[in-house]
Amino acid sequence: MNRPRISQSSSLPALTVLAASMVGLTGCGENIFEAKWTTARVDTVMVYSLARPEVNLPAGFDFVGRRTISLHDAGATGLWDLALDTQDGELVFLPPGALGVTSEALVLKLPNMSFDDVVTAPKDTLLYSRDMPVSVETSSVYVLRTHRGPDRFGIPCFFFGKLQPLVVQPTVGTVSFMFDVSTLCDSRGLIPTD
């Protein structure tokens, strides 16, 4: 059986076209598969203290889903990163571990900082609180590592975010805060990149 013979010189144009098309896909050296966070989504939310007598008020916040959570709801365990409580007349943020809930969520208070000043989450997770209350103050920014949640491709990972209390009302048992969360899996960057 005679097979047609393909010379190396005839496959060279095909390889050249393939290489040129790959360069076009990368957009002048840009990796089209590289995830980017390009737009800030700063939002404001209010949460209620667990010490309030009403049930089903949103006392927790899920930073992955960007939503308030009623911790009295069935199935709320593990779906939130921070709760508000009143201890000794003062409002405190509680990571899930402070309530005995197994979670990898962490929170770190950065006193005397502004929201815009905090651009990167500190790397040393030993600085963060996993199971202790953290006092709430408007003059502080709080950095957090979320529970594991799906990234844009459905892969479970951590996200880092920040919040700053805007209105703290200990007698009423509420806190309003502004926040943003990186959309990038395991990235400590707290501001979008160009």
- Whether 147 is covered by a domain: the verdict is yes
How far does CA 124 lie from the centroid of its chain? 17
Any domain includes 144: yes
Segment 100-151, tens digit of pLDDT? 888 999 999 999 999 999 999 999 999 999 999 999 999 999 999 999 998 8
Range of the domain at 168: 43-181
- Nearest residue to 129 (alpha-carbon basis) of 108, 101, 160, 102: 108
Pairing state of beta strands 156-157 and 149-150? antiparallel
65 domain-assigned: yes
Average pLDDT estimate for 6-20: 50
Residue 99 in domain: yes
In a domain, 52, yes or no: yes
How many structural domains is the chain composed of? 1
Q: Which residues contact 185 (CB under 8 A, 6 or more apart)?
A: 35, 151, 155, 157, 158, 159
Residue at 10 is within a domain? no
pLDDT band at 26 (very low <50, low <70, confident <90, very high): very low
* 40 vs 173 pLDDT, higher one: 173
Instruction: Please report which confidence band the pLDDT of residue 18 belongs to, taking 50, 70 and 90 as the band edges.
Output: very low
- For residue range 67-92, what is the model confidence (pLDDT) as tens digits? 999 987 655 677 899 999 999 999 99
Give a yes or no: residue 30 inside a domain: no
- Inside any domain, residue 66: yes
